[in-house]
Chains A and B, each alone.
Chain A
Amino acid sequence: LSKADAAAAVLWVGATLYAVFGGADFGAGFWALLAGGRNRGEQPRALIAWAIGPVWEANHVWLIFVLVVLWTAFSTAFESIMSTLFIPLSLAAFGIVLRGAGFAFHKLAPKVRGRRLSEYLFAVSSVLTPFFMGTVVGAIASGRVSVGNATGDLVTSWLNPLSLLVGALFVATGAYLSAVFLINDARRFGDFALERYFAVRALAAALVAGAVAFAGVFVLRDDARYVYDRLTSEALPLVILSGACGLAVVALLVRGARRGTRALAVGAVVGVVWGWGVAQFPYLLPEQLTISDGAAPSATLTALLVVFGAAVALVLPALALLYTLSQRSILLESETESPGG
């Protein structure tokens, strides 16, 4: 394992954490959007705001982490991706900004109409942002990002069947993870009606995500042959692991069991992210730029790995504490009313 490979692994760890925590966070916005009108959607939306309130900003540090590692360790890949895919990336960035503003303002806006607008902004951008991020991943996996400053097609690189499908997969995966998490949040809150509400939605999202992933295999075969070939050979164990975890969650939910659903749902997502990583190996941009060719000089990589080690030692315990406190309902976001009423 070279230093460049280690840096790529660090990049993938960040991407995995973002897929899990950021994905669940976006998924919560998806369910807020689908919750329905004022009165009907009130309770699910209140649970969502209550559940993600203390952690939603922390979930997005992983995006910054991924960007920093990418431009530090693999600046050529960063340049190529950012310049060719600036349209979906800009749209995703706008979505992140609007989403945060919507979430921050949704209790504070002066009029009811302003509060509704904030909720709507939060929910819509929670769906659009992961979708555009998915189109970016689809563009990279299918080799549509060529090496250099804006050398790929600015539009067709991300507006193609594979990109759109991966975009849909991102939205569906986030919704699935989030619904599984919200089942547990509803139970933690003691609202059994909402627990069933999200169990049904988790099942539906699992089936949709599974179907989209299955369709994705065929689009990959026609459009991203390199990734497809390795996904069905070297990365096959991870694909099988992901599928098995997904099916196990469905089986547990059908039986009404809750224990273990979160870990298995996370396992399904981790399997897909690392399956993609193994399928791309040894390329950063399939068949165009390898990890070793795209890597920064040795001294930079050493510094990056040292910083990563320090970050693991400093940041992970803090984040673990945040999530533990949040899960034990010790943290109160600045709100007095609760989902139950």
Chain B
Amino acid sequence: MVGICTVLIGLGLWLGIAWWRKRDIPQTPWFLRATAVSGAAAIVALESGWIVTEVGRQPWIVYNVMRTEDAVTGASGVSITLAAVVLLYTALGIATVVVLRTMSRRWREAEIPETDVPYGPRSTAPQAAESS
């Protein structure tokens, strides 16, 4: 996590310095390669961070206050709920990838305007919103 973070900050500095001096991105394929990898690297860093805090904290759920075994629910069927959550999010993850790929394909074919996405920028803002 710390390693990836440092590299990502370095990448940002590289871009910042190039922009400051030449008003352009660094002119080397290695910069583009690093940028392409940085998105996935950020997710890896995020997950590593979670693993460090959650696993590193054991056997405490609240450090030095409450142990995980004392905090866990007394209800049976936790494994079923866990399985259901894993299945649900696997299905949602697959659906998200499929939808994102479809959106990308439709844009390339100009089938839908680029504004037509959730949270996307709006090229034709309504008039009342423009004045605010």
Contact = CB atoms under 8 A, between A and B. Distances in A.
A233 B8 CA distance: 65
Interface string A100-142: 0100110111100010000000000000000000000000000
A292 B5 CA distance: 47
B92 A334 contact: no
B3 interface: no
B89 to A, nearest CB: 8
Contact of A86 (B73, B115, B120): B73
Contacts of A1: none
Given A101-B92, A110-B102, A336 B73 contact: no
B99 A105 contact: yes
Interface residues of B, number: 26
Nearest to A151: B74
B102 A83 contact: no
A98 B85 CA distance: 11
Contact of A101 (B95, B103, B119): B95
B84 A90 contact: yes
A83 B74 contact: yes
Question: Quick one: which of B74, B75, B92, B102 has the most chain A CB within 10 A?
Answer: B75
A108 B81 contact: no
A332 interface: yes
Number of contact residues on A: which range applies?
Answer: 20 to 34
Interface stretch (B23-31, B36-44, B53-61, B122-130): B122-130
A33 B30 CA distance: 52
A85 to B, nearest CB: 9
Given A109-B102, A110-B99, A330 B128 contact: yes
A241 interface: no
A256 B67 CA distance: 62
B117 interface: yes
B116 interface: yes
A112 B98 CA distance: 14
Contacts of A192: none
Given A97-B92, A108-B99, A330 B126 contact: yes
B121 to A, nearest CB: 10
Nearest to A94: B88
Contacts of B75: 83-84, 86, 150, 154
Contacts of A328: 128
B46 to A, nearest CB: 20
B77 A154 contact: yes
Contacts of A300: none
Contact of A110 (B88, B98, B113): B98
B64 interface: no
Given A108-B117, A332-B122, A334-B116, 6 more contacts: A101-B95, A108-B102, A328-B128, A330-B128, A331-B129, A334-B117
27 contacts: A83-B73, A84-B75, A86-B77, A86-B81, A90-B81, A94-B84, A94-B88, A101-B92, A101-B95, A104-B118, A105-B99, A107-B116, A108-B99, A109-B99, A114-B98, A150-B73, A150-B75, A154-B75, A154-B76, A330-B128, A330-B129, A331-B126, A331-B129, A332-B122, A334-B115, A334-B116, A334-B119
- Pairs of residues from A and B, 4 with the lowest C-beta to C-beta distance, nearest first: A150-B74, A110-B102, A150-B75, A149-B74
